[in-house]
Structure 1
Amino acid sequence: MQAFLAPVSELMGKIGEVEGKYRGKDHVNHLKTVSEGVQALGWVCVEPTPAPFVKETIGSSEFWSNKILKDYKGKDEGHINWVKGFNGFLKALVPYIQANHTTGLAWNTLGGRTVAAAAPVVQSAGGAQKAFEDLIEEFINPFVQHSDKIGGDVAAQAKLFKEAVVKSAQLIGTASKTKKPSEDAMQAFLAPVSELMGKIGEVEGKYRGKDHVNHLKTVSEGVQALGWVCVEPTPAPFVKETIGSSEFWSNKILSAYKGKDETHVSWVQAFNGFLKALPPYIVSYHTTGLTWSK
């Protein structure tokens, strides 16, 4: 699987690098549109809900493409057509996936058995679960406490996020003791976390208030980072990409509450702290993908 996904994963990383290194002003929205939208190609390793995963990334990409439409509508149709072409592809992905890869990338079978993927190789997996649980203790527990003070949907979403992270820790522990399963079995293996990721997005999607929309957006974008468990061979760069989308919303919270209500500032620091701690953790224990027993 590592070699199978490598060409696309490497190009996704390079696309993000182009946007990250850009220092101009004229085309920042174009580059953001593509660097956010390219995450949709990660559907090939998302189970059991690849189509909803793509829908989530479309929203992040359209935030930037809408700025292009606003700037160029009635002035330069070249940019308008650029947006239509890119957005058209992203939106067409969803029905395509629903029709051909409903619960995940469809694999050919031999003798009624799905061909198993090769396990990624990582030098050391010792203590991987414990190290991940330490991140929960350091960042997620305070995050939930701050969320409880804010209350409402923020608190409810935070509890779902902690549950997803705890299940991720359990998943890491199980993987370290078992051989990598077939693609069919992988679906059931990832289901508990995938389902919670969906519920977290639903909390944000159903919210009709104004006070905490940025909090809910921060988490619904940030939870995509937990998808690293099915990304090979570059899970750490994948997480770094999702951090930018989440920070866009958390920066709005800092702007609104800094010097006024430190609970919200601490909330951001705890959540962002967890996301930023993930890449070095992954590099240490799961360099090219979730580590399985040999």
Structure 2
Amino acid sequence: MKVKYFLFIFLLLILLIPLVSGHEEEIFEEEVNHEENKVHEAKELSVRLIIIASIIILTLVFIAIFVRKPTENLKKILFFGIIIVTLAVTFYVAYSTITLNLVSETRGPVHWHADFEIWNCGKKIDVVNPMGLSNRVGSNVFHEHGDNRIHVEGVVINKQNVDLHNFINVIGGSIKKDYLGLQTVEGSFEVKDGDLCNGKEGKLQAFVYKTEGNKYEQIKVEDFPDYVLSPYAYVPPGDCIIIEFDEEKERTDKICETYKAAIQKGDIIGS
């Protein structure tokens, strides 16, 4: 009687798994951009398999505990069931992790950062703040935490997947060479080349502070939607990216607080 009871619970849990997984997938697909799906699908599948395996193993353990006089056949089924499920999931997770690392351009997980600021005619724009337990705006791999810092955390299949265009996209905006649209703490915001800025024709531009050793330089980036941040965990030497809508110019006087502090302390000097 007890065996039938536990088998019923076991089958019920297995039937519920696809419903839970399907719901998670809907949330997940909305959260990430299309180019990251390979990495995230593999991670999600690994998590689901671990959950399913845990339920199976737990059920088999319960059967072993509560069946008073198990037959020899039942003992073998329980023992080998636990062993096979454990080994199968362990093998798959190890295989998928190694495969992802090998096919990724970064050859494994990375942890890169770059600071950024967005300015509109001399006014600093504050992008939308994170909400929920995740405390982030964006995807698992590519996001910000309301700290004006771009975070790249995980396996990057193609470095172009973490360019400036994709970052603005995952935080709910859109950027082109002549257009910027964002969700901010004050609502929707957009500008385009030719809009007036303090009574004059404005242009969307981007400037990047980069370091080499203890020297930094400011460069104007022409194809800024395609710009990929430098591969550093700390800022500096990670980039300071300034996106600015203003009169067209060759340099900006805007600078990230991290770079300003490093310059004041003498950690970096102008080249």
Could you tell me the TM-score, scaled by structure 1's length? 0.25
With a CA cutoff of 8 Å and minimum separation of 6, indicate the structure with the bigger relative contact order: 1
**Relative to total residues, which structure has the larger strand share, 1 or 2?**
2
**Relative to total residues, which structure has the larger helix share, 1 or 2?**
1
- Larger radius of gyration, structure 1 or 2? 2
Could you tell me the TM-score, scaled by structure 2's length? 0.26
